[in-house]
Amino acid sequence: MSDPTALDTERVAQAVLKEVLAHQRRMRDGGCTAEVCPRCAAHHLDAVREAVAQNRRIEFVLPAFPTKSPNPAKVLGPLPDLAEELALRFLNSLCERIGGIHAPGATIVLCSDGRVFNDLLGVTDEDVTRYVRAIDEMITRIGATHLEQFTLDEVYNGAGHEEMRETLSAGYARSVEELREEVRAGGAPLAMYRGITRFMLEDLSGPRWTGTRSALQRKCRTLAYRVIQRSKAWGDLLGELFPDAIRLSIHPQPCSSEKIGILLADTPDVWLTPWHSVAVATGDRYTLMKRAEAEEAGGRLEFVDGRPSHYVLDTADSGRLRDRAA
Ligand SMILES: [Zn+2]
């Protein structure tokens, strides 16, 4: 460690991880300590140090930006809006800050997982295609040069969408029984299962559901396992395709996990994502809320280029909202 280059590499790698972990999305009681968790930093240090030592760009992989929730009580429609734009700007600025520490910079590959499980959510393949294209256009429009998208369409180029999902599952999916065992054991898999079941319930309880509440709950519990099954298959495939990348996740992670959970927005609900919500301007900042909550709080819908974009709450309304949340 007396080699000055090694010392420098160590210092740069630590500083890069500090930037990332400052926005860590943690699991409650997951074991992390301090504002920047030293155990999580130690866990990912080798991968970052290797990129720094080789003077190469640090690559992150983030399965995210799948498709909008099909529930109109949560979102403004099937296309990305300001909620996604804020998240993309944030992720790009994170890469820019890393570039200020490590000259070759950083890139985040957004591995859109909409095509992986949209059929389970009742979202059409056409809506997934439109969403992915619109995210690409948004990346170009806002000049987010450190971000790129990667989808299942690029893995199985030319195949039909159903065929892509079948090929992915045949090659990588673990059995539902095996996943059930993990969930039964508690901890992070149980929290993930509960989080996804909650999303499914919200997403599918829109006007299109005509059955009973308990039937919907049963359906969502079954579907949650299939979403987890496909997400894990996608994750394993990405691990093969991007072996040197550092894995990020939109889900809260326990301490020292293989993936670093990352916050995409300033929101009190760590499970809320831009594609399950709307952006709400409150005074000098933005937060994410479900659309129905933004409307109930008195939010005013704003349009940009003729399309619904986000809500604005005046300061008195935001104060009332804070009082209610307290
Ligand atoms: Zn930790």
* Secondary structure (H, E, C), the chain: CCCHHHHHHHHHHHHHHHHHHCCECECCCCCCCCCCCHHHHHHHHHHHHHHHHCCCCEEEEECCCCCCCCCCCCCCCCCCCHHHHHHHHHHHHHHHHHHHHCCCCEEEEEECCHHHHHHHHCCCHHHHHHHHHHHHHHHHHCCCCCEEEECHHHHCCCCCHHHHHHHHHHHHCCCHHHHHHHHHCCHHHHHHHHHHHHHHHHHHCCCCCCCCHHHHHHHHHHHHHHHHHHHHHHHHHHHHHCCCCEEEECCCECCCCCCEEECCCCCCCCCCCHHHCEEEEECCEEEEECHHHHHHCCCEEEEECCEEEEEEECHHHHHHHHHHHC
Ligand 1 centre distance from Cα of residue 306 (Å): 44
Residue 59 lies in a domain: yes
CA of 50 to the centre of ligand 1 (A): 21
Q: How far is the CA of 40 from the centre of ligand 1 (A)?
A: 4
Check: pTM over 0.85? Answer yes or no.
yes
Tell me the CATH number at 318: 3.30.60.140
Whether residues 36 and 112 fall in one domain: yes
At position 246, the amino acid (one-letter code) is I
Residue type, 296: E
Q: Would 236 be classed as within a structural domain? A: yes
Distance 195 CA to ligand 1 centre (A): 20
The CA 31 to ligand 1 mean position distance, Å, reads 6
State the distance from the centre of ligand 1 to the C-alpha of 22, rounded, in angstroms. Answer: 11
Domain count, the chain: 2
Residues 242 and 326 in one domain: no
Does 133 lie in the same domain as 192?
A: yes
CA of 304 to the centre of ligand 1 (A): 40
CA–centroid distance, 255 to ligand 1, in Å, is 4
Same domain, 260 and 296: no
Q: Give the whole-angstrom CA distance, residue 120 versus residue 223.
A: 7
Spacing, Cα 39 to ligand 1 middle (Å): 5
Find the 262 Cα to ligand 1 centroid distance in Å.
12
Q: Among residues 267, 285, 313, which one ends one of the domains?
A: 267
Domain span at residue 306 reads 277-326
Distance 74 CA to ligand 1 centre (A): 31
Q: Is the same domain home to 254 and 281? A: no
Quote the ligand 1 centre to 312 CA distance (angstroms): 35
Distance 19 CA to ligand 1 centre (A): 14
Domain co-membership, 162 together with 289: no
Q: What parts of the chain have a pLDDT lower than 70?
A: 1-2, 4, 268, 316-326
- Is residue 315 located within the same domain as residue 231? no
Instruction: Flag whether 272 is in a domain.
Output: no
Same-domain status, 314 and 235: no
168 CA distance to ligand 1 middle (Å): 32
Query: Do 150 and 293 fall within a single domain?
Result: no
- Is there a domain that residue 177 lies in? yes
Query: What is the structure's pLDDT at 326?
Result: 41
Whether 73 and 217 map to the same domain: the answer is yes
151: which 2 tokens? 């989808």
In a domain, 250, yes or no: yes
CATH label of the domain that carries residue 8: 3.40.50
| Claim to verify: residue 319 and residue 262 sit in the same structural domain | no
Do 257 and 288 share a domain, yes or no? Answer: no
Q: Judge whether 50 lies within some domain.
A: yes
